[in-house]
Amino acid sequence: MKKKFKCEIDCANCAAKVEDAISKIDGVKDVKVNFIMQRFTLEADDEVFGEVLKKAIAAGKKIEPDFSVEL
């Protein structure tokens, strides 16, 4: 499953760091964090998507406390 979300991220460097951290989470097939478009795209298997999404948001907040995703 691949889903796109609106997100809030403060800078391009932060977006790259968040994207890198999320890509290392088990179950993540692909991730994109676009600072310009304020978009977060996550691809993971259907059966674990919700769990992976929660871990991804938590990882993003660890790196950039202002990182938020509109679900």
Q: Are 3 and 30 in contact (CB under 8 A)?
A: no
Specify the number of domains making up the chain. 1
Q: Are 52 and 25 in contact (CB under 8 A)?
A: yes
**What phi and psi, each to the nearest 5 degrees, are found at residue 31?**
-145, 140
Give the structural domain span for 39.
2-70
Q: Are 33 and 19 in contact (CB under 8 A)?
A: yes
pLDDT (tens digit per residue) in 18-50 = 999 999 999 999 999 999 999 999 999 999 999
CATH classification at residue 10? 3.30.70.100
pLDDT (tens digit per residue) in 59-69 = 999 999 999 99
- Give the count of beta carbons closer than 10 Å to the beta carbon of residue 6: 12
